[in-house]
Amino acid sequence: MRAIHRGFVIVSSLILISCFAVQTEGKKKGEALNHLYHSTLKTISGVDTSHFRTPEHFDESKLHPQGGLKERDRIVKLPGQPEVGFSQYGGYVTVDKSAGRAMYYYFAEAQQSKESLPLLLWLNGGPGCSSLAYGAMQELGPFRVHSDGKTLYKNRFSWNYAANVLFLESPAGVGFSYSNTTSDYKTNGDRRTAEDNYVFLKNWLERFPEYKGREFYVAGESYAGHYVPQLAHTILYHNKKANKTIINLKGILIGNAVINDETDTIGMYDYARTHALISEESLHNIKTQCNFSSNATVQPVECAVALNETYRDIFYVNIYNIYAPLCTHPSTTSLPKKGSLTSFDPCSDYYGIAYLNRPDVQEAMNANVTKLTHDWQPCSDLIVNWLDSPETIIPLLQECMANGLRVWIFSGDIDGRVPVTSTEYSLKAMKLPVKTKWHPWYIGGEVGGFTEVYKGDITFATVRGAGHQVPSYQPLRALSLIKHFLNGSQLPDTKRYIYS
């Protein structure tokens, strides 16, 4: 319950349904995903929910000379890292010199053929969660952290087998990214995040000029369902304004993504009921007492009662993977447990926190150079306000399609937080003609998931047996997905393609 207003209870259902994760799993990405997110809360709080707009003028003064900075950023070797044959870089890119705002990145070049493979930017969501914490260290990066918090092991399903992969901690205040103007942490929002991400990218490409003109893709999950299309829109806008290709954007990929507030919310509760997490009576009460449409301002007390009952029922379920165990020992171990890519450790957050707060790790990664006054965290305590969050990003997806970009949306099918039903309802709201009907896709001789392709070059794919962070739970299937996305090929629809 967030506030009481004229006899009504203002409730963010998404906050209530995810609070259990804060209680049982520590500061997971979902805690931040709920921050000022649901439209009923955003209406009262003053969050701007209007359609996303890019500033008409780009401030050229935010571009700075980058000569010599690439070699300064080279990571020779991470502490406890196994030997690898690819190059790594990490460091800061200033996006606003006057404010002292700088973004931290980690870059893993491709395992092979780095000169020809595309550049892929990965963004985690929140708002306020780190792409280093989740994308790089728990999902699609080249390493995972052992339970001792000191050593790393290889991820043989890393996405840098398919692309040169760039991870960005965004916005300022997330992870190692910072601002010397502390008021920046209170004035973040979708628009400034997109602008800063674009400025970062422009400067980064000057630092790594060999990637200028390279095929470029943006991918992400969760609240990056906003970040990714918004950055794509910003790139398209400035390419058109300059009448040339400044950044060679070819496509976007979003997973278990926040797309459309109303359908996202309804789909979440429908999923909870169809997966036996809540009762039919609870679902009925929610649907009759709560109004999740964009024009809702307040909810009656009966809605709060219904939502609290749901919250109570699923308190001890990991809503980000409804069949996964909880972390019962939130700490590191004196000796490393055997690392597993096929059985994801629910305590991985804590291993990453221990590792990335070590001074020798930060020094090797060229991170925390200003000696921040706070510890590195997977999701930021500094992001306490969010100024703008459009209630839907469907118009941006339509814009991407209209401009010939490849658009893929994927969904781990055992995530209850932004579940497959939410994504399906959002796609249905787009009223897209079907090009290729729903069918299974295969990997390793098994069904990897199901897929449907729509006219306009947009593909929807589920990943069977994956939670919210798809590559954490199904790394092989996720690698197959990204390879087909980057190649522009359909997912294999017959079992004879068992290793593709």
Q: Which residues are catalytic?
A: 222, 415, 468
Amino acid at site 187: T
Count helices and strands (H / E) in the chain.
Answer: 15, 16
Please tell me whether residue 170 adopts helix, strand or coil conformation: coil
| DSSP line for 404-445 | T-EEEEEEETT-SSS-HHHHHHHHHHHTPPEEEEEEEEEETT
Largest Cα–Cα separation, the chain: 64
CB 456 within 8 A of CB 430: no
CB 110 within 8 A of CB 211: no
10-25: b or e for each residue (b if 16 or more CB lie within 10 Å)? Answer: bbbbbbbbbbbbeebb
CB 311 within 8 A of CB 12: no
Q: Which of 327, 491, 310 has its CA nearest to residue 416? A: 310
Cα radius of gyration rounded to whole Å, the chain: 21
Spatial neighbors of 127 by CB under 8 A, at least 6 apart, are 32, 33, 35, 171, 188, 193, 223, 383, 386, 389
- Separation CA 149–CA 8 (nearest Å): 47
DSSP label at residue 159: G
- Separation CA 316–CA 20 (nearest Å): 7
Handedness of CA 462, 467, 471, 474 (dihedral sign): negative
**Residue with token string 């171990």:** 333
CB 78 within 8 A of CB 361: yes
Burial class (CB in 10 A: 0-12, 13-18, 19+), 358: middle
- Separation CA 450–CA 178 (nearest Å): 40
- Separation CA 61–CA 239 (nearest Å): 18
12, 40, 222 from 297: Cα distances, Å: 11, 5, 24
Residue 416 CA, chain-centre distance (Å), reads 16
416-438: b or e for each residue (b if 16 or more CB lie within 10 Å)? Answer: bbbbbbbbbbbbeebebeeeeee
